[in-house]
Chain A
Amino acid sequence: SYVLTQPPSVSVAPGKTARITCEADNIESKSVHWYQQKPGQAPMLVIHFDSDRPSGIPERVSGSNSGNTATLTLSRVEAGDEADYYCQVWDSTSDHFNWVFGGGTKLTVL
């Protein structure tokens, strides 16, 4: 099965840039989607198709996907960005519908 690997935690000071990675074999061949989940809340889509922002997501949130690593980048980090972040792909290598999630990364704003 296809496995997405994320770092358990990332820490960043306010105003700096946070990069959260999602690693998998040849992930650049897949479309990667990212969700933000704040404590006690439902997941919220922040990036789809590697780098597209849904309506209402600020431009300082961006995504990229190359080789074996997809990256979610949050520029000028704010306290409100503190949350868990999950990457997700649709795994076409299996013979049935299959969503795969990464294990999640807890972003801490220092």
Chain B
Amino acid sequence: EVQLVQSGAEVKKPGESLNISCETSGYSFTSHWIAWVRQMPGGGLEWMGIIYPEDSDVKYSPSFQGQVTISADKSTSTAYLQWRSLKASDTAKYYCARLQGYYNSYGDFWGQGTLVTISS
């Protein structure tokens, strides 16, 4: 059974760093791209970036380039989303999703989401 299990909710202050995770199981981690998707409070879905765990090839949405870092650890089948300096506007729920394919791709399995709250 394919599963993506994300780390728990986080409450941080502006300027702090943060690393959230997406642990996968039930399939070959290195054979599928993983995407990170943001959902702001009351808002829609926004694609942030994708990573191919086999070679850690990463592609960022222009909207998030330079704002976050996406990485993966093949030894633990886990993908990560990292911030160096959080802002209040980073408050959102973040989802990881396994991509089926690349061209014309879609997310066939999703993590449960990680709620990130940034408040002073």
Q: Which residues of A contact B (CB under 8 A)?
A: 30-31, 33, 35, 41-45, 48-49, 54, 86, 88-90, 92, 96-104
Contact = CB atoms under 8 A, between A and B. Distances in A.
> Interface on chain B toward A: helix, strand, loop, or mixed SS?
strand
Contacts, number: 56
A54 B104 CA distance: 16
B59 A99 contact: no
A74 B107 CA distance: 21
A45 B104 contact: no
Interface string B96-107: 010010111111
Contacts of B106: 33, 45, 48, 88, 90
B107 A104 contact: no
B47 A99 contact: yes
Interface residues of B, number: 24
B110 A96 contact: no
A31 B44 contact: no
Interface string B105-120: 1111011110000000
